[in-house]
Every structure is written in C-alpha cells, then in structure tokens.
C-alpha cells in the first residue's frame, strides 16, 4: 500500500516537477558558468506566468539569477551581467530559450545572420507554455476560449487562432511528458 501511495504522490506532482526541472536545471542551470557571476533573467508576459506558476524567486536565485526583468520595460544596461532570455518566439526579440516550438523560418533566419549568431550562448525550445495550477493540473490560460470557440462570432480566423494556440500549448505538455 505504501508503494501505491508513493507512485500516486509522484504521479500527481508530475507537472510541477517537470516545469521546475525544465526551468531551473535545463534552462537556468545550463546557463551557469564556472565563474560565480550573477545573471539577469529577462521574460515576457507569458513566460513570467509560466515561471511564477512553477517556482519561487529563491529557486531562481539559487541558480545564479539576481535580477528578473520584463522584456517590454525600459531597462538599465547591465554589460557586466550575462542575460538569459526566456520568451515566446518572435522576429522582434532576442532568441535564447523558448517556451514553445520555434518555427523553422525563425531558426533559419538566426542561422543566416552572422552578426547575431556569435552572441547566442544557447538556442533551445523548453516546451513550457502551460501553467501548472496545482500538483495534478495545468491550464493553457485562455480565458475567452469558450466564447471564441462556441460564441456567435462568425470569424473563423479567431477560432483557428484560438485552436492553434491551444494546440501549441498542449503540445508542449506532451513533449515534456515524453522526456520522462
């Protein structure tokens, strides 16, 4: 009976564990260097939510991050600190760690730009665009999905966009579960 309780307890914490492991060890841990220098973590709106649902500031600090900044706010230049970007993929942003799959055309664009390529320390898809809400559940954070999918809106483009976002976020869960 104790074995069954252990398995149940382990299974029920899978989303929290996978998120924490991916964020702290695969992403932040891989950015650690031999030097004991602090780093700044720069995130956008979605990835801030992912991070806040998955770990505490103390966990982030333990991985060598002393400052967390919003990508869209004005920031003071910190040339003495390495920066870790955890953001959604977009043409306008720096590319380091992505919360969901990066389209091939973005990757090809990065590879072809010789001025950017030397400045990239890592380019990785983390598959973490879902939000663990407790030890047994997660959400895709789409508050108006029901209205967009089942409302009286005649715009099929909005329905397609909603379904694509939902599918992308669900795919990140399945990709992460595959790694266990």
Instruction: Give pLDDT tens digits for 130-157.
Output: 888 887 888 888 877 877 777 766 777 7
Spatial distance between the Cα atoms of 35 and 11, rounded to a whole number of angstroms: 37
Sort strands 137-139 and 131-134 into parallel, antiparallel or unpaired: antiparallel
Domains of the chain (ranges; CATH) run: 2-178 (3.40.50.2060)
Based on its alpha-carbon atoms, the radius of gyration of the chain, rounded to whole angstroms, reads 18
Measuring CA to CA, which residue among 43, 53, 44, 48 is closest to residue 19?
A: 53
Quote the pTM value.
0.55
Per-residue pLDDT reduced to its tens digit, 17-52: 888 888 888 888 887 765 668 899 999 999 999 898
**125: helix, coil or strand?**
strand
């Amino acid at each position: 009976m104790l074995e069954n309780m252990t398995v149940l307890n382990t299974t029920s914490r899978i989303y929290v564990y996978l998120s924490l492991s991916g964020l702290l060890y695969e992403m932040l841990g891989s950015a650690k260097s031999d030097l004991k220098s602090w780093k700044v973590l720069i995130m956008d709106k979605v990835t801030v939510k992912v991070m806040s649902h998955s770990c505490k500031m103390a966990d982030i600090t333990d991985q060598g991050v002393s400052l967390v900044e919003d990508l869209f706010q004005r920031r003071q230049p910190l040339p003495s600190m390495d920066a870790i970007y955890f953001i959604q993929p977009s043409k306008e942003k720096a590319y380091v760690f992505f919360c969901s799959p990066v389209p091939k055309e973005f990757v090809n664009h990065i590879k072809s730009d010789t001025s950017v390529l030397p400045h990239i320390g890592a380019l990785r898809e983390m598959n973490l665009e879902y939000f663990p809400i407790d030890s047994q559940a997660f959400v895709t954070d789409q508050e108006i999905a029901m209205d967009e999918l089942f409302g009286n809106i005649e715009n099929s483009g909005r329905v397609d966009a909603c379904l694509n976002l939902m599918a992308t976020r669900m795919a990140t869960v399945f990709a992460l579960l595959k790694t266990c």
